[in-house]
Amino acid sequence: MSAAALVVPIAAGMVGGAVAVAAPGAIAHTAPAGGREDLFVPSDMGRIKVQVQWAARGGNAALYLLDGLRAREDRNAWSFETNAQDQFAGDDVTLVMPVGGQASFYSDWDTASNLNGQEVTYKWEAFLTEDLPAYLEGYGVSRTNNAVLGISMGGSAALTLAAYHRDQFKFAGSLSGYLNISAPGMREAIRAAMLSQSWFNVDSMWGPPWSPAWLRNDPFVFAPQLRGLSMYISAASGLPGEYDRPSAPIDFYNTANGMALEALALANSRAFQVRLATLGIPATFSFPSNGTHSWPYWSSELFKARGQILEALNA
């Protein structure tokens, strides 16, 4: 798959509800039993909006849902592109949906992107593993009983976060993620995709392609660190399926893009499957015969993974 194939939408991002601004302090109360809320969490990047749906019975488990390359600044796409909140409405697990982070790979960047005038250096790994869990702890959410799952960009990020923060995450899931970014052409493809997303410069994230940071963030490379982690890995064939019904010219264009992106994600995920097999590390894999790089398919995969997530969190 050529780099040009990725100069298209890799994924998206965006919620609503009550607003909590002040820090909750030291264990202010147990997690509210059900309901949805917008939190604004302090960080080195400023206040970050986080949409939450509290555990149905006030339990301490949490599932972090990560967005894709085109994450928006107002809502996390899991909250409106899928039925994730309805799926878990009766479960004793808090959904945590951070807002923002377009083209970030949820990573700690070296510097702010120098091609688009970005003013704040991304520090998403620090936020998701330090600032946010500390903040949520004030609501009775455990710092150690968490799952993380993402789509596309967020899929590889979910495995990265879990690999380096095993004390925080008991489960990690990648839906249509790019899990072999050292494969030929992948670094160039990621560069092209990030340039297409508001001119983000990948060199500001992990440095030039020969930088060790690229290897640190490649699931194929750090796979041995995932041993013992509950994992769910999915990617479809890229062939149009039940949710692909293009009618207008733009629909056919988007479907074609979704086919190419999903085919690339499948190749990456299959390579990752072989890598885990050679290491003797078990994981759950789902490779549907039809499906493109789009939200309805990811919503369906989340439903398939739900039982495994709840079991890993004892929720």
Secondary structure class of 119 (helix, strand, coil):
coil
For β-strands 93-98 and 48-53, DSSP reports them as antiparallel
Place of tokens 């607003």: 19
Distance CA 177, CA 233 (A): 8
Instruction: Give the Cα separation of 255 and 277 in Å (integer).
Output: 32
The residues annotated with a catalytic role in the active site are 152, 262, 293
Cα dihedral 24, 28, 31, 32 sign: negative
The residue with tokens 């878990």 is 88
Nearest CA to 95 out of 154, 151, 26, 146 is that of: 146
Q: For residues 175 and 149, is the Cβ–Cβ distance under 8 A? A: yes
Tokens for 276?
């885990």
Distances 147 to 15, 40, 169, 216, 229 between C-alpha atoms, Å: 20, 21, 5, 21, 10
Burial of 119 (0-12, 13-18, 19+ CB in 10 A): exposed
Bridge partner residues of 216 (DSSP): none
Report d(CA 123, CA 45) in Å as an integer. Answer: 7
- The Cα-based distances of 234 to 109, 116, 124 in angstroms read 27, 33, 24
